[in-house]
Structure 1
Amino acid sequence: MRHLLLLGGGHAHVEVLRQLGAAPLPGWQVTLLTREVMSPYSGMLPGVLAGLYRPEQALIDLPALAARCGVALLVDRATGVDPVARRVRRADGNDLPWDLLSIDTGATPDTSRVPGAAEHALPLKPIDALLPRMADIIAGARPGQPIAVVGAGAAGTEIALALALRLRAAVTLVAGRSGLLPGFPARMRRLVARALAQRGVALREGQDAVRISQGQVHFAEAGSLAADPVIWAAGAAAAPWLTETGLHRDARGFLRVDDCLRAAGHPDIFAAGDVASFGQGLPKAGVFAVRQGPVLAGNLRAVAEGRAPALFRPQGDYLRLLSLGDGKAIGTRNGFTVRGRWVWWLKDTIDRRFMARYQGAAA
């Protein structure tokens, strides 16, 4: 028996598991090595914090999924990869050999650039660690409590809207010099800015946070902002253990992959999702990991069977849906931006259908 090792339980790997369950690989043993028992779906996190979903609706039970798909499960953390010896180093000290390796371990919070962020801010990722902390914050929240969300990309903006609605808190969204929703169409930014104002969320643009201390966000020229908690949504960084892989990485430390999602120079190693650096660099958005899943599953099967892998072709533009936390959403694609309850219905339908594939039943 040869060994296919799936490292990480991210959005792409759950699709690989599903397809292996539907059509097993003859002659291959498959193992999922993951530090998470419950794999969170990032697209539903703001809905959980807004009270629109129960936490379990946004979580994939990896032991149950692996069992249904005939895949062995090991719950542990990887600390390195030896591509020459074909072994993954584990936190428990036991190396794990493989013949074909796929990596979908995601990214870590980018807290290194701002002193105090790692010690005093609550990062959005890993989500499985965030949810219990947020449950405690929600349970103990008081009206008017000052809360800061640092980072005004899609995730940070959705979180700010959700918390302002659910907690009646005094939420400040720290957008910094990048501004609100960088890279999004101007009409969408205007609609979201209007929604933030209607929700009472203060938008702070123009200056980046330069330091985080207990209960304070500090700026270079504008003093400090009192907030407790400070939620960190300011970008993603590569996990430090990737430096121990010996694999090619981009300037930010993410694994370089080719057009077939193979690690550069290593046809027996694949990577997908946030851990991978594809082409000129895709946004660290869950939609790309979801779309890479079927291609990754097909390519792992192809290589295992001695066939050539297929190309992954990312969309030039894609549907971006942002929840307002109140049963409405804003969406944009191909230059068009729309808002309303039906947009939330569309987002909710897409998210529930995605989760139903891996939870065994509709959520």
Structure 2
Amino acid sequence: MPDRRHLLLLGGGHAHVEVLRQFGQRPLPGWRVSLLTREEMSPYSGMLPGVIAGLYQPAQALIDMPALTARCGVELLLDRCTGIDAQARLVRRAGGAAVAWDLLSIDTGATPDTSRTPGAAEHALPLKPIDALLPRMESITAAARPGQHIVVVGGGAAGFEVACALAVRLPASVTLVAGASGLLAGFPARLRRRAARALAGHGVALSEGRNVARIAPGEAHLEGGPMLPASAIIWATGAAAAPWLAETGLARDPRGFLRVDSCLRAEGHSTIFAAGDVASLPEPLPKAGVFAVRQGPVLAANLRAVAMGETPQPYVPQRDYLRLLSLADGRALGTRNGLVFGGRWVWWLKDRIDRRFMARYQH
């Protein structure tokens, strides 16, 4: 009997957990499936602020990858990817021999960009990878005292939610540095105003108009000279691509992310797919988890189609999408189609959506 062909899933991101679920429900005839990921517990980013705020236990926001892959009949390789040889169809890894594949899918995510700010990589705590963040966040929480200062850098949704969570959870003071673009750039003006009022209600100091120029031990220096003392600095700025992607020979966009076509295929490669934050479509999308979640079913269908010699179908992003922001106190803000809303019912909606997503993969 000939060896089965090999589908390798690289990374345990939001799109790949759906691929695992679908292939577990309906196995791919003539193929074996493996997952290579460095994370034994894959975190769901949508619940991270709730974990920091103490609204969830960490286990509620984590997907047990050994359990999920076992249920789905998929081989799990716990290791870190160090490179891809697209011509030889090999994925190199840190702790073992290279893995050969016939069909490859990449969903390794992104990390906050610390490269453009001196000292950020050495002295700030990036939000991702989340498995490295949570233990250090527990240390920050345990050590927090009145009179201490915590600085969150990044005025997007992640920075806003984390600042709210820290302010609610800790006795220390919190400052959110939203930078030159300001708080929640790209969100409706009415929501931005409500978000600013929510920060003020939590006692969070909001700094807008100045980017962070450099980070030193215990200090965040803003452009123009002001210095913010900080017992901890949380880095939640725009996403950056993994450095090893530069050595793959795969086409990348100006920010270093993998260029894919509308069917999520890597540009110029019919047997390589990519989804989530690591992928850059012809019309770039925000680096938001909602897109990775929506790409999951399309990616699963297209991997199955190519494996069976059929034609993949395009992924069509939603024109607008529901955006929900936790205030960490049992309330949330939301927006869709230009409408802005908030209150306890919005937190209930967000909590229900997040729990329903996790239930697909935890049980």
Q: TM-score, normalised by structure 2?
A: 0.98
Aligned partner of 1:354 in structure 2 is 357
Please give the residue correspondences for 1:81-96 in structure 2 after superposition, counting only pairs within 5 Å: 81-96=84-99
2:188 corresponding residue in structure 1: 185
SS in 2 for 1:6: strand
The residue identity in structure 1 corresponding to 2:277 is D
Partners of 1:109 and 1:342 in 2: CA distance: 31
Stretches of structure 2 lacking an aligned partner (at least 5 in a row): none
User: Could you say which residue in structure 1 is the equivalent of 2:55?
Assistant: 52
Structure 1 residue corresponding to 2:34, chosen from 27, 31, 37? 31
Q: 2:298 aligns with which of 282, 295, 298?
A: 295
CA distance in 2, matches of 1:255, 1:133: 30
Deviation readout 1:305-340 (Å, 9 max, x if unpaired)? 111011100011100000000000000000000000
Q: Quote the residue 2:271 is aligned against.
A: 268
Tell me which residue corresponds to 2:240. Answer: 237
SS at structure 2 position matched to 1:17: helix
* Residue number in structure 2 paired with 1:253: 256
Q: Distance in 2 between matches of 1:235 and 1:228?
A: 23
Write the letter of the residue equivalent to 1:217: A
Distance of 1:144 and 1:51 partners within structure 2: 21
Of 133, 137, 149, the match for 1:146: 149
Counterpart position of 2:100: 97
Instruction: State the partner residue of 2:69.
Output: 66
Which residue in the other structure is 1:158 paired with?
161
* Structure 1: distance between partners of 2:356 and 2:301: 21
The CA deviation string for residues 34-70 of structure 1, in whole angstroms up to 9 with x for no partner, is 0110000000000001110000000000010000000
Q: 1:89 Cα shift?
A: 1.0
Moved over 2 A (4+): none
Give the drift of 1:140: 1.6
Residue 43 (1) aligns with residue 72 (2): no
For residue 281 of structure 1, what is the aligned residue in structure 2? 284
Measured after TM superposition, the shift of residue 84 of structure 1 is 0.9
Question: What is the match of residue 80 of structure 2?
Answer: 77
Could you tell me which amino acid in structure 2 is paired with residue 265 of structure 1?
G
Query: What corresponds to 2:341 in structure 1?
Result: 338
1:298-313 correspondence to structure 2 within 5 Å: 298-313=301-316
Question: Take 1:90 and 1:53, find their aligned partners in 2: how far apart are those partners?
Answer: 33
8 A contact 1:257–1:276 mirrored in 2: yes
- In structure 1, the residue corresponding to 2:287 is in which secondary structure? coil
From 163, 170, 174, give the equivalent of 2:173: 170
The one-letter code matched in structure 1 to 2:206 is L
Aligned residues of 1:292 and 1:312 also touching (Cα < 8 A): yes
Deviation string 1:238-274 (CA, Å, 9 cap, x unpaired) is 0000011110000000000000000001010000000
The aligned amino acid for 1:55 is P
> For 1:297 and 1:84, how far apart are their aligned partners in 2?
23
Please state whether the residue corresponding to 1:5 is helix, strand or coil. strand
Q: Within 1, Cα distance between the matches of 2:242 and 2:146?
A: 37
Residues in 2 aligned to 1:22 and 1:354: alpha-carbon distance in whole angstroms: 17
Aligned residue in 2 for 1:18? 21
Deviation at 1:93, TM superposition (A): 4.8
1:188-240, CA deviations, whole angstroms, 9 ceiling, x for partnerless residues?
00000000011110000111000000010002313210011000001110000
Give the SS at the match of 1:262.
Answer: coil
**Secondary structure at the residue paired with 1:311?**
coil
144-153 or 57-66: bigger deviation: 144-153
Deviations 1:279-302 (A, max 9, x none): 221111100000000000010001
RMSD: 0.7
- The one-letter amino acid paired with 2:94 is A
Q: Return the TM-score normalized by structure 1.
A: 0.98
Deviations 1:119-149, CA, capped at 9 Å, x for gaps: 0000000001000000111112112320000
Contact 1:79 1:244 in 2 (8 A): no
Does structure 2 retain, via aligned residues, the 8 Å contact 1:164–1:201? yes
- Matched residue SS, 1:347: helix
3-state SS of paired residue (2:271): strand
C-alpha separation between the residues in 2 aligned to 1:28 and 1:353?
30
Distance in structure 2 (CA, Å) of the matches to 1:259 and 1:149: 35
2:116 maps to 1:113: yes
Counterpart Cα distance in 2 of 1:297 and 1:266? 17
* SS state at 1:350 partner: helix
Matched residue SS, 1:80? strand
